[in-house]
Chain A
């Protein structure tokens, strides 16, 4: 029965640094240098989980990132992270790990009953079974299926850890630090190029870390020491390159979990680096393939290379005896190293002929070799007790473990992230990169060159080429250790297992896909490899088929009678390995999720009882505490203040643009639909601009400051768009116009002084300024000096009352605001917020962002008469398209609620009184408010045919709350149609 133990000597573990993790609530001892996987094996925890679908007992298969079975939930509470491969978790004090997908335990799992039902659970089972009896059945079943399937469970608590993001640049990025990667990084580094070496493991060396050759170890150490001595080289361990993107952008994620970082001290658990490299060398190595045979998933059946890693790197080995089954020479590395550690080894070699050298070396270690043999079946359920060989030597061998050596699969994932499909290399018996862009290079096993000296030579060449490509010429190559030799890596292809065995033969361990599932998919006509993947789930999950893909492709090709290259491979996409969402989010969480924009008066609002509301990125003062504690009542009080006294509102968020130049007037005349060429200095004009499709882009005002300088304001929402539009027109459409524009939105603060007492307030605040009708008439503007700064006064009104806007450089905004409130205190002036601001304009019938929604024409908004008939302007031609002139277009109307006991809601759908209340209706309410003037709810809306229906009674429906109300269509100008107030 499978049993593992820690050897008394050897390994790269620090025996003087014992550590203790907690595994399923119990102490798990290990050493620094152990992974959770090696510590589990060292503690003879062989059965460590249950399989995805059948809940079969499972043990570790690999020692690296490709591990399909050994997935655990790491951490607890808010730090609970499911499905983490034990092979990638470093042992530390305080590490908490739990088994998953088994209840009550992996050793005794009630869900193992699934295994008995396995004939039902073949590929396509879900699709065949849960599609009926009705059309919507799948939606009914899906939640139950999802609950039964899956592995670990994620927490829904906020992640308390910190994840940093940084940008970096280099000349040469080397991915992987095996022999090829070390040689590439060092050769490039010696040229003086800025090199980044990224290694996913906890140490540099790749496959060398699993060897036991002293000369190779000395070479590795020497390379690493030289790399670390070079100031132009940044070498990172525990750093996985998760994706390569256009422009040589690589995304690297460094895992610092072992340090138990404290987020309160700014210490990140992971750091995501967006690295832009001039050149990239991929030295990502290769992953050993399992072999497919009956019960090849029993705990204790592992990759031969994993057995070698565990014995050499972690000093963990099977208790007494192991059987290694292979189709190539590389298995003998594991066999010899295990034998050297005192483990009795038997090799079942698919090949009938084994080289004399291997026979000789194996013989010297007492290794029994059975050529022409493979594994027929594995006996044992929660571990291996015996293996039955088939082929030339049909013997049964008792053992603790089985090593599978099915050849090697180059890690080509990153090379295909840019869209280049891998190609099959017969010599390497695997897919290799299908090509590289000019600045990418590959070296070593990932290119199908598995030998040590070949990998080093190729790595050094790639490093030199990459450095040269980045503009660094002179370097010194890196040479292989003197005795590094390259042996054959050729395999004897044998994809199908021996016939006759009754156990399941797994192709994909993580997704419980057996050879039978692949066969069924084939029989049911799934001929494309992409369909095979989706029908069987093969190659999905956390390991993304790193160990299973080639075997599956080969089997599929075999069934179809085609070659593996003809079958092709699935598409590799980022991320290369599982990645926590926290690393992707980085610091864009909580209040950092998106930028917040604050008015220059923001701090005053905070100190003086404002409640804020988000308006795009802006935080705007919604209403103030003086008026009440709820928006429903406060804004009404603030409206009354403006209608009957005077209020002060922050309008700093309006877009503001400086337009200068001898052609500025002509420019504006073309931009706005109405005339601006003859606007006198000291006057302001309301204007509307269209997109070139004839649809309204924005409205606003523009003041003429001097002959050649104008001051434009835009709506808050369209400020950026208008600025870009003006720049586009000047640069692309009318380069002949001598005009410069500059955004002043951040430079100038604005405050509206509105209400019948506005003039009185203004005079009190600025006693030296003449605010009379003669001194500052309606739509007039002037700059005045005040207390050492320039204040711009503009007489215009959004509320419909007598009103002024006071603009000043933003740094002085709070001081000036406070001055106005203090100086004009006798008028009863108080601040009013956005809700009142937006409601007052509804009473006046002014359109705003809700009506200017990029779908309406000038005529829709009742502004058609503004447009100049003689002059040209942007959008004029397409404004007169037939559809834009249709009398049935939805156009602006005023609406009055006729049922006083009801409430009117924005967004309500409008229907004619005789319509069935169904569908999109004839329009909708854009803006709604309680009218303090009319003492009822009023609204602006868009209605089919518009004011043609003035006086008609219609229905507003709000289906979300099942509400309906009767309305009357009226003029959108609810108050002061003659403009007496604003001209007062």
Chain B
């Protein structure tokens, strides 16, 4: 099989004892959009409960579902996932795995670093685990998912990923020492 090569293959690694900034590869991303009035019912039957709003993700086992717009969802799961096969006839299915790079930012200073990147309230009482923000980092659109107390997955456009990586690691520069 052809080798997959990350958009961050040539990026400078980030090393810190208190903060992790690293690519979290090994996922598939599928966009599903509705083409019928019963779209959400059909989708829910295929992948489980759906998030009620754009601002919260729904985690069904290893499958994470984001509501990204009216009748539009992202489904993220490990590479070996079965989602695409389940979506036949559900709606407009668009594979987007290559289109995004997932960057994990985790550790005690993670919220401080995120606050330097996106105009989102990252206060622990506000942006709680499960919270989602469709926002921007370094002038590019990103999706930020709070995956833990001080842990975030950021889905970045592939073609901007190297530059956004540089912006994120630059924001974490003070924690490399």
Q: What is the interface of chain A, defined by CB distance below 8 A to chain B?
A: 162, 164-169, 194, 265-268, 274, 276, 587, 591-592, 594-600, 602-603, 606, 618, 658, 660-662, 709, 738, 740, 742-749, 786-789, 808-816, 819
Say whether, besides A600-B7, A606-B10, A746-B158, A167 and B174 are in contact (CB < 8 Å). Answer: no
Cβ-neighbour of B138 out of A164, A265, A595, A744 (below 8 A): A595
The 7 closest A-B pairs by CB, nearest first: A266-B173, A788-B1, A266-B174, A660-B92, A747-B99, A740-B33, A746-B99
Say whether, besides A267-B174, A595-B163, A815-B2, A742 and B31 are in contact (CB < 8 Å). Answer: yes
Which of A599, A709, A788, A810 counts the most chain B CB atoms within 10 A? A810
Residue of A nearest to B176 (CB): A266
Extra pairs beyond A594-B139, A809-B95, A811-B98 (6, CB < 8 Å)? A265-B173, A266-B170, A596-B163, A740-B35, A746-B98, A747-B158
Pair A591/B2 contact, Cβ less than 8 Å: no
Cβ of B160 to closest chain A Cβ, rounded Å: 5
Cβ-neighbour of A810 out of B31, B71, B99 (below 8 A): B99
- Stretch of B44-52, B55-63, B116-124, B144-152 with 4 or more beta carbons under 8 angstroms from chain A: B116-124
Pair B94/A658 contact, Cβ less than 8 Å: yes
Pair B158/A600 contact, Cβ less than 8 Å: yes
Say whether, besides A606-B10, A661-B35, A746-B99, A587 and B163 are in contact (CB < 8 Å). Answer: no
Pair B118/A786 contact, Cβ less than 8 Å: no
Cβ of A730 to closest chain B Cβ, rounded Å: 11
Interface residues of B in 88-115 (CB under 8 A from A): 91-92, 94-100, 112, 115
Interface residues of B in 136-177 (CB under 8 A from A): 138-140, 157-160, 162-164, 166-167, 170-177
Pair B34/A740 contact, Cβ less than 8 Å: yes
Q: Roughly how many angstroms separate A265 CA and B162 CA in the complex, as a whole number?
A: 21
Cβ of B53 within 8 Å of any chain A Cβ, yes or no, is no
Residue of A nearest to B1 (CB): A788
Given the complex, which residues of A lie within 8 Å of B97, measured CB to CB? 747, 809, 811
Cβ of B34 to closest chain A Cβ, rounded Å: 7
Given the complex, which residues of A lie within 8 Å of B174, measured CB to CB? 265-268
Say whether, besides A606-B10, A812-B3, A819-B2, A598 and B98 are in contact (CB < 8 Å). Answer: no
Pair B35/A595 contact, Cβ less than 8 Å: no
Pair B5/A815 contact, Cβ less than 8 Å: yes
Cβ of A810 to closest chain B Cβ, rounded Å: 4
Cβ of B126 within 8 Å of any chain A Cβ, yes or no, is yes
Pair B98/A809 contact, Cβ less than 8 Å: yes
Pair A167/B35 contact, Cβ less than 8 Å: no
Residue of B nearest to A652 (CB): B159
Band of interface residues on B? 35 or more
Given the complex, which residues of B lie within 8 Å of A742, measured CB to CB? 31, 33, 92, 94, 96
Pair B162/A596 contact, Cβ less than 8 Å: yes
Cβ-neighbour of B95 out of A661, A747, A786, A812 (below 8 A): A747
Q: Roughly how many angstroms separate A202 CA and B91 CA in the complex, as a whole number?
A: 60
Given the complex, which residues of B lie within 8 Å of A812, measured CB to CB? 2-5, 98
Pair A814/B166 contact, Cβ less than 8 Å: no
Which of B5, B33, B95, B138 counts the most chain A CB atoms within 10 A? B5
Which of A166, A661, A786, A789 counts the most chain B CB atoms within 10 A? A166
Say whether, besides A265-B177, A787-B1, A788-B1, A591 and B166 are in contact (CB < 8 Å). Answer: yes
Say whether, besides A265-B173, A815-B3, A746 and B10 are in contact (CB < 8 Å). Answer: no
Given the complex, which residues of A lie within 8 Å of B159, measured CB to CB? 597-600, 618, 745-746
Which of B10, B35, B100, B177 counts the most chain A CB atoms within 10 A? B35
Cβ of B8 to closest chain A Cβ, rounded Å: 10
21 A-B Cβ contacts within 8 A?
A164-B116, A169-B121, A266-B172, A266-B175, A268-B174, A276-B121, A591-B166, A592-B138, A598-B163, A600-B7, A661-B35, A709-B92, A742-B96, A744-B94, A745-B99, A746-B96, A746-B98, A746-B100, A749-B98, A812-B3, A813-B5
Residue of A nearest to B126 (CB): A169
Cβ of A860 to closest chain B Cβ, rounded Å: 32
Q: Roughly how many angstroms separate A810 CA and B100 CA in the complex, as a whole number?
A: 10
Cβ of A239 to closest chain B Cβ, rounded Å: 15
Q: Roughly how many angstroms separate A255 CA and B163 CA in the complex, as a whole number?
A: 28
Cβ of B41 within 8 Å of any chain A Cβ, yes or no, is no
Q: Roughly how many angstroms separate A276 CA and B119 CA in the complex, as a whole number?
A: 9
Cβ of B123 to closest chain A Cβ, rounded Å: 7
Cβ of B82 within 8 Å of any chain A Cβ, yes or no, is no
Pair A166/B96 contact, Cβ less than 8 Å: no
Cβ of B42 to closest chain A Cβ, rounded Å: 14
Q: Roughly how many angstroms separate A819 CA and B72 CA in the complex, as a whole number?
A: 36
Given the complex, which residues of A lie within 8 Å of B5, measured CB to CB? 603, 811-815
Q: Roughly how many angstroms separate A814 CA and B2 CA in the complex, as a whole number?
A: 9
Given the complex, which residues of B lie within 8 Å of A709, measured CB to CB? 92
Pair A168/B116 contact, Cβ less than 8 Å: no
Q: Roughly how many angstroms separate A763 CA and B110 CA in the complex, as a whole number?
A: 51
Q: Roughly how many angstroms separate A69 CA and B35 CA in the complex, as a whole number?
A: 70
Q: Roughly how many angstroms separate A660 CA and B94 CA in the complex, as a whole number?
A: 9
Pair B115/A168 contact, Cβ less than 8 Å: yes
Pair B119/A661 contact, Cβ less than 8 Å: no
Pair B2/A274 contact, Cβ less than 8 Å: no
Pair B158/A810 contact, Cβ less than 8 Å: yes
Which of A169, A274, A709, A819 counts the most chain B CB atoms within 10 A? A169
Pair A592/B6 contact, Cβ less than 8 Å: no
Pair A660/B35 contact, Cβ less than 8 Å: yes
Q: Roughly how many angstroms separate A274 CA and B115 CA in the complex, as a whole number?
A: 10
Say whether, besides A274-B119, A603-B10, A811-B6, A747 and B173 are in contact (CB < 8 Å). Answer: no
Q: Roughly how many angstroms separate A197 CA and B108 CA in the complex, as a whole number?
A: 24
Q: Roughly how many angstroms separate A594 CA and B139 CA in the complex, as a whole number?
A: 8
Cβ of A720 to closest chain B Cβ, rounded Å: 11
Cβ of A189 to closest chain B Cβ, rounded Å: 15
Cβ of B9 within 8 Å of any chain A Cβ, yes or no, is yes
Q: Roughly how many angstroms separate A810 CA and B158 CA in the complex, as a whole number?
A: 8
Interface residues of B in 24-80 (CB under 8 A from A): 31, 33-35, 71-72
Given the complex, which residues of B lie within 8 Å of A591, measured CB to CB? 163, 166
Pair B10/A747 contact, Cβ less than 8 Å: no
Q: Roughly how many angstroms separate A788 CA and B2 CA in the complex, as a whole number?
A: 7
Cβ of A430 to closest chain B Cβ, rounded Å: 37
Given the complex, which residues of A lie within 8 Å of B171, measured CB to CB? 164, 587
